[in-house]
Every structure is written in C-alpha cells, then in structure tokens.
Chains A and B, each alone.
Chain A
Amino acid sequence: MGPLIPNGVIPYEWSNIIAIIIGIAFGFILEASGFSSSRKLAGVFYGYDFAVLKVFFTAALVSLIGILYMDYLGYLDMSALYVHPTYLWGAIIGGAIMGVGFVAGGFCPGTALTSVAIGKIDAIIYVVGIMVGVFIFSELFTLFQPIYEGSFMGNITLMDSLGVNRYWFVFLFTALAIVIFKLSDMIRKRTKKIFY
C-alpha cells in the first residue's frame, strides 16, 4: 500500500500541500517544546540540557522501528522510500560547519525559523547569516563543486554499508540510545544548574 504518494494512493500533485501541512505541524511542535530557545539548544554542548539529543534520537528510532514493522506487515514498501544520497566528504565538511554554527549561534536552521516566527532578534540575525552563507556558497560554487559533488557513494543506508542484519542493527541502536540517554542524564546531574 505505502508509500502513499509513489504508489498513487495520494496523487503526486498533493505532495507540496502535504509538505506544507507537515511543515506547519513540525514548526509548531518545535516551538511548543521550547526548541526556539537557543539556550535550550546549546545546552547539549554545555551539558545542562539534553532535550535536543533525546528528542531527535527518539524520533529517529520511533520512525525506524515503525517503518520496519510496517514493512514487515506489508503496509509499506521500504525499497520505494527516498534515501538521501551520500557525498562523503561534502557531508563531513558540511556537518562540521553546521556544528560550529550550531554551537556559536544556538540554532539549527529549522529551529532558527521557528524562533524568527516568535520574534527573536538573535534568530533573525542568524537567518540573515544563513542567507549570507548561501550567497557566498552559490557565488563560489565552482570552487566548492569538486567537494560538493565528489566522493559520491549513492543512496546508501547505514544498514547496507555495514552489511549487518537490519533488525539486529535496530536493536543495538535502540540499546545504544538508551545507554546514551542514561549517560546524558548523569552528565546533566553533574553540571551546574542553569536557569533559562
């Protein structure tokens, strides 16, 4: 049956409208759970708030386990799902730059926009910074192109490239997540409490 749009259950033309609705819901929940605060987001790096880590790790696991169950029961064809292509060095360098920006500015691109929506000045400046970065990148694209398009590895997943049984992988991943949650709680208790 699924995925709904590639299998034509929902017409292809609806995809943008659905994307907007999902985007609104995503932004609303980010805002409602306090992710529009740069102090909360930066807390991961300083060790006083691990909400970001827990939320995104849990979200990934819920969808991973959910998709695998749906695939197992035949409601979803996993092979038809979109897998983001991997450009190895581009991803590593881009990830590092994004991480620096995350620590320095206290936002990731998505949460920056939710903060702009509630009128935070630092977020507005952050978004302007994103725009400047985009501008520089596109002006110097010919310079960055070899990195951007180089070391292409196709639409691979972690499970395929490691060559392990995917169910075992998910199980170990879940166990790892819970260990990390426990560890992050321990770290949080040791660091000085910060009110924000």
Chain B
Amino acid sequence: MVNRKLAKVSSFRYTILAIIFVILAAGLVLLPKYVKHEGIDPAELLSKASSTERYISSDVLADKIINQDPSFILIDVRNEAEYEKYSLPNAINIPLKKLLDEDSIPYLNQSQYSVILYSNDNIYADQAWVICNRLNYKNLKVLKGGLNNWYNTIINPPSPTENMTNLDYELFNTRKAASMFFGVVYPEQIKADKPIVVKKAAPKKVITVEKKKKKPAEGGC
C-alpha cells in the first residue's frame, strides 16, 4: 500500500519540483524590497560612537608627537585655507568634502597607522569619524576638543592658581614644556638671556600608505 502511494506521488515528482521552482521564483518577485546599506551594522556603530575610547586627549597627543611615535597619522578635516593658516605638525589635510575621494581613501582605510582626526572643535572630526566608521575603516580616533582645546591646553596652558593641587602644577609644567617644543617662547626664557633654542616642531614624518590590493575574484568554465 505504501509503495503504491509512493509510486503515485513519485510519478508527479517533476511536476512537484516544477511547482516548487515557480513558487521560489515568485517569492523573489513578491518579497518586500529594501535598500541595502554598505558598511557596518548600525548597532555596532552606535556602540563604537558611545565609547569614550574613540577620543584622544590633547595631552596624550602632544606626548605622542614629542616622542615621535610612529604609529599614527594626523588628519586635518578643515578646509585648505584654515589648514594653511595653522595645523599640527605633519598633518595631512583631507577636508570633509574630499573625505570619500579616491586619493584620501588610502590614508583612511588602512591598518598600518591609527588615524587621528581633528578640526577646530571635534564636531567636523566627529562627522568624519562617523562616515569612516560606517565604511568599516579601522583605528580611527578624534582629538577631543579639536584645535581649540589644543590651543587652550598645550599652546597656552592656563596657569594654576594657588589653591590648586600639586598635580595641577605638574600638569601645567608638562604642558608648558610641551608648548616650548611646539615653538612657544616664554618671557622667563628671554630674561635668562639664554640663547633661544626654537626647536623645529617635530621632524618631518614621511607617511607612506600602501593602497589596499583588491584581489579580483577569478572564475571561468
């Protein structure tokens, strides 16, 4: 009995398969369409964005520059005019508009260096950070407070008042020393009548980035 039933069904096997085929193909037509986005998952982006690790403070950055840390590149996302006026040593200018240009991608999309983005405040740099992260670029950081904060902490550090702790004085001294490194001259240096040694702000760093090789998938018969 079972065999006869099976035989009856199996005589229709090609019809059944054909129907399955048509149903599957029709399913493709009827499925609701959606627009696909490139890059990482929104949830992942959000968790990265809310992490404080994406910021680098001006003190840490100054320390890195002074010690000639080779592991990072600086990217200035302001426009060219502002970049010409003042920027950090060895920074590369990639204005926000040119962020997705062919020429700027090798600097941003690489795993050799960590990338430190900055602008006047951290707003433009944050925008660049979000765009680049969305494209799944790695090792991106933003200078906290941008160049304004850089100026207020490193170049022109506020002198501690008498009611502050020893730590604040130490911080001030470090920052003052750092500012000297970046070319600031203090009145007491002149009073001391010493020859003023204005150090060249950080030796020129040559940044070479390899273009990512894209291996084309090959195929054939």
CB-CB nearest in chain B for A185:
B14
A182 to B29, CA, bound (A): 23
Is A24 at the interface (CB under 8 A from chain B)?
Answer: no
Which of the candidate stretches B74-82, B103-111, B213-221 sits at the interface with the other chain? B213-221
Is A148 at the interface (CB under 8 A from chain B)?
Answer: no
- Number of A-B residue pairs, CB cutoff 8 Å, is 53
Contact assessment for A65 and B217 in the assembled complex, using a CB-CB cutoff below 8 Å = no
* 8 A Cβ contacts from A6-51 to B: 6, 12
Is A195 at the interface (CB under 8 A from chain B)?
Answer: no
Q: Could you say which of B24, B26, B28, B219 contacts A82, with CB atoms under 8 Å apart?
A: B219
Contact assessment for A6 and B24 in the assembled complex, using a CB-CB cutoff below 8 Å = no
Contact assessment for B215 and A175 in the assembled complex, using a CB-CB cutoff below 8 Å = no
Chain A residues, CB < 8 A from B22: 171, 174-175, 178
> Which residue of A167, A168, A173 has the most chain B CB atoms within 10 A of its CB atom?
A167
What is the interface size of chain B, counting residues whose CB is below 8 A from a CB of the partner? 19
Contact assessment for B18 and A82 in the assembled complex, using a CB-CB cutoff below 8 Å = no
- Beyond A65-B25, A171-B26, A174-B25, whether A6 also contacts B215 by CB under 8 A is yes
Is B2 at the interface (CB under 8 A from chain A)?
Answer: no
Contact assessment for B28 and A167 in the assembled complex, using a CB-CB cutoff below 8 Å = yes
Chain B residues, CB < 8 A from A6: 215, 217
Q: Could you say which of B14, B27, B215, B221 contacts A12, with CB atoms under 8 Å apart?
A: B215
- Please list the residues of chain A having a beta carbon within 8 angstroms of any beta carbon in chain B: 3, 5-6, 12, 61, 65, 68-69, 72, 74, 80-82, 84, 109-110, 167-168, 170-171, 173-175, 177-178, 181
